[in-house]
Structure 1
Amino acid sequence: MYLVDDAKMWWQARYKEIEEGMITLTSWTDFKRILKDHFYPENTEFVAQRKLEEVKHTKSIRDYVREFSACMLEITEITETNMTFEFVNGLKRWAQKEVMRQNPKTLSSAISAAERLLDFHGEREVP
């Protein structure tokens, strides 16, 4: 219902193939996979990984978390340990030290630890 233009035409063709038994689509994950396979450029994940290497904590922690999270939405082949390492590695040195003291085991816990530093270090969100 929410697809338009090329995506709507693509889905109508896939739906017909499903009805005729030519393809099987049994889950939301399957749908997302075939949709991405068709519409995402082949190098989307590579580009996101490259960008992830360049994302650094230069402004506020919130800005860094936002940029980092946007990259992670495009990357599917990365472990929790590597995500956490990449996140902490991109922080400023003082923030790295403070986050590492809390020994985060997941990306979520590392992000939470970093966000708690806002008041500690006196960072303010600039409108």
Structure 2
Amino acid sequence: MLQISYMDEKEALFSFMDGLKPWAKQELQRRGVQELTKAMSVAESFAEFGGKKDKFESSKPKFNPKGNIV
């Protein structure tokens, strides 16, 4: 975790969440996470599981330019 001495806890949390993908930020907000260390821990668990969006997109069939399913 980057330590910036002039940031208070709320500013640090806002800055961290601002850098997340929208779905991850929304999930943290849904869970009511209010502490930076908790937000980082939960966000790290998203990465361990591959993230919701990544799982969804990887399950979609892919098409090549000739129209065949890949």
Normalised TM-score (structure 1): 0.37
Q: Find 1:95's aligned residue among 24, 30, 34.
A: 24
Q: Where does 1:1-127 land on structure 2 (aligned, <5 Å)?
A: 69=1, 72-73=2-3, 75-118=4-47, 119=49, 121=51
For residue 64 of structure 2, what is the aligned residue in structure 1? Answer: none
**TM superposition outliers: structure 1 runs of 4+ over 4 Å:** none
Deviations 1:63-82 (A, max 9, x none): xxxxxx2xx32x10111011
Separation in structure 2 between the aligned mates of residue 117 and residue 101 of structure 1, nearest angstrom: 14
Structure 2 residues not aligned, in runs of 5+ = 55-70
Comparing both structures, which one devotes a greater share of its residues to helix? 1
Cα distance in 1, alignment partners of residues 50 and 29 from structure 2: 15
1:104 deviation in Å?
Answer: 1.3
Size of the alignment, in residue pairs? 52
Structure number with greater Rg is 1
Query: Structure with the greater relative contact order (CA < 8 A, sep ≥ 6): 1 or 2?
Result: 2
Describe the superposition over 1:28-60 as per-residue Cα deviations: whole angstroms up to 9, x where unpaired: xxxxxxxxxxxxxxxxxxxxxxxxxxxxxxxxx
Note the residue ranges of structure 1 that are not aligned, 5 or more in a row: 1-68
